[in-house]
Structures are given as C-alpha cells and as structure tokens.
Chain A
Amino acid sequence: MSADRDVSLAEFRESFFYGSRCDLSFKFLRDLSDEEAAEFLRVLLERLGDAYDTGDVEPLVRAAIEAQVKAYGRKAPDRWTYEDAPFTPPDRPLAESRLLLLTSSGHFVEDDDPRPFGVEGMTQEEAEARIDEFLREAPILSAIPRDTPAARLRVRHGGYDVRSARRDPGVVLPRDALVEAEARGRIGALADEILSFPGATAQGRLQRLLPEWVERARNAEVDLALLVPV
C-alpha cells in the first residue's frame, strides 16, 4: 500500500483483524458495517471529549463493549448448535467439594512452554500471525500448580488481547479468588492443578481430546469444574 493512497473505511475496519493495524481488542470492527463503525467512532470521540473534563472513561469503555457485543452477537449460527442440555447436579455441598479451574486463556508456567508447532518461546505476535494454523491443530493443555507465583505465569494466545491477562492473570484465571473461597470454607478445596489451553483451536480435534481431559479431572478427584473462556 503506497503511503499517499486513501484508505477506505472498510479497509481500515478489516486491518484490525490480523492486518496492518492488528488489535485483538478491536478485531470486531471487521464485523460492523461501515455505517456502524463510523457511528461507533463518532460516539467514542464524543465521549472522549467529555472525558477531557470529567476524567470518566467508563462511557468510552461502555461504547466499546456494546459495539463488541453487537459485532459478535450477529455472527451466523455455526455447526456447534445443540438441542440437548447436559446436566449433572452436584452430589455434595460446595463446602465439601473439590473444584477444578480450567480456562482457555493460554496460560502456562514459564519453564513449561507447551511449544506449539515445536516452537520454543513463541511470542504473542507470532501466535497472532499463525492463528490460522492454531485453528487447524489440536490444543495443548498446560497444567499449572495452584501455588505458582504470578510472576512465573506466561500467557500466549493468538485469538484475544492478552495485555490484561499479563497485567493480572485473575481477569481470566481466578486462582486467587478461589483460594480465598477455599480459605473461608465456601468450597472444600481448589484442586492442586489449574488447567489452561489456548481456546483458538480445531474444535473437532479438541473434542477427540476431551475424554482424556475428563479422565485427568477424575484422577484429580474433582467434584466440580469452573470453566473460563476468554
């Protein structure tokens, strides 16, 4: 693209989706119409103008969340639609239950890199660049000992903006909140291992792995599982 060529609004929107302006917090711009995107930007700027004086960014953030909900919510139904809703009632009180935390955040311990595609130390940027490959491959499940210091946690995931998870793993891996719940007796125990995988993955291959994951949970003698997609 030459420097002096005009950029259309459609090109601008699409460039946030793994393009020249890739920003996974705003990749949803691709799924808005030009008119919707223009209105979103107008509202953002209007509210920014207010924030100069008020210092209140909450209305800006609210506009972004509303646009995100609109963009994702209208995506066409896909093949993973089910009629039945499985349900197993808990067989004991929470205070006596052992709970597994499993998240699709893409966390792992610093010296236990899951090495996707055999690559050691893959960067977040490379994971984003290789998103199509991730979506064709089976996920690698990482076990994180529950007492792992936050400073030893790493996160890498080609499908979402990991900046928040880097600042505070608790935004998607609520280990500390669950340890507190355990300490005050709300749950019996948090299991010794937390499980995480990058959720941008091949769904059919993931499904074939699930019996192993269930077995792993059974071996950990968990009674309940708290699941956190990003």
Chain B
Amino acid sequence: MSVGHVSRAFEQAGIPTVTIVVRAFRHVAERMRVPRALVTPHPMGRPLGAAGDAERQREVVEAALGLFESAEQGGTVQEFSAPFRPGRASV
C-alpha cells in the first residue's frame, strides 16, 4: 500500500514507475490503480524470488524494465508467469 502511494505520486509528478508486487498483494495494486505492476508468484518478502537465485532476480528485473516499454496506459498489470522456485541459500 505504501509503495502504491509512492507510485501514484511519482507518476503524477512525471516520473514513470514500475512496481514489482507479489501475488498476495495484486488486489492492492489493482485497487490503487498502480501505473504499471509486475505481479510475481513469489511469497511475501521475496518479490524478486528466493534468496540466492540471481538468475530469477535478473529475469524479474528484465520483465519489469520491459513494462516501461510496453505499457500504454495507467493500471497496466502483467503477470510474471514462471512459478516460484525454492532457493538453495545456506541458513
């Protein structure tokens, strides 16, 4: 919710935004009409993927950057479709 307000304020001030949001909060992004949202299938606290999964982090960032190029109107919501994959970080 906090970042939803940030996204709206930045966009209204002329700074385009993309917000990366986990699926549990998709409805918040939609209700707040976040300008561009990339919805990832990841658990809360890990919007970019599991710890140590640098490849997934790059993929999510690339998808988010692509939204700057593809979105044509506010309230654009795109799903990052690859499923969450548990990581292998040491405890």
Measured in the bound complex, the distance between the Cα atoms of B43 and A225 in whole Å is 23
Q: Once bound together, how far apart are the Cα atoms of A162 and B44, in whole Å?
A: 10
CA distance A62 to B82 in the complex (A): 13
Contacts of A223 in B (CB 8 A): 15-16
- Considering the chains assembled together, what is the distance between the CA atoms of A62 and B90 in angstroms? 20
What are the 10 A-B residue pairs with the smallest beta carbon separation, nearest first?
A85-B74, A87-B74, A85-B75, A168-B51, A229-B3, A85-B33, A167-B51, A210-B9, A86-B11, A199-B2
| Contact between B6 and A73, CB atoms less than 8 A apart | no
Q: How far is the CB of B26 from chain A (nearest CB, A)?
A: 8
In the complex, are the beta carbons of A104 and B47 less than 8 A apart?
Answer: no
- Tell me whether A217 and B89 are in contact (CB under 8 A): no
Given contacts A171-B45, A225-B17, A227-B17, contact A84 B61 (CB under 8 A): no
Asked if A83 lies at the interface with its beta carbon under 8 angstroms from chain B, I say yes
Q: Mark B3-24, 1 if CB is under 8 A from A, else 0.
A: 1111111111111111111011
Q: Considering the chains assembled together, what is the distance between the CA atoms of A161 and B47 in angstroms?
A: 12
* 8 Å CB contact of A25 from B44, B48, B50: B44
Residues of A within 8 A of B8 (CB): 82, 86
Q: Among B23, B45, B83, B85, point to the contact of A160 (Cβ < 8 A).
A: B45
Interchain CB contact under 8 A, B45 and A177: no
A86 touches B19 (CB 8 A): no
- Tell me the residues in window 50-73 of chain B with beta carbons closer than 8 Å to chain A beta carbons: 50-52, 54, 57-58, 60-62, 64-65, 68-69, 71, 73
Q: Are B3 and A85 in contact (CB under 8 A)?
A: no
Decide if A90 touches B16 in the complex (CB within 8 Å): yes
Q: Which of B9, B31, B52 has the most CB of A within 10 A?
A: B9
Instruction: Tell me whether B48 and A170 are in contact (CB under 8 A).
Output: yes
Known: A162-B45, A174-B48, A225-B10. A80 touches B32 (CB 8 A): yes
**1/0 contact trace for A174-202 toward B, CB 8 Å?**
10111011000011000000000101110
Asked if residues B65 and A217 are in contact (CB atoms below 8 Å), the reply is: no
Tell me, rounded to whole Å, the shortest Cβ–Cβ distance linking A70 to chain B: 9
Q: How far is the CA of A220 from the CA of B19 in the complex (A)?
A: 20
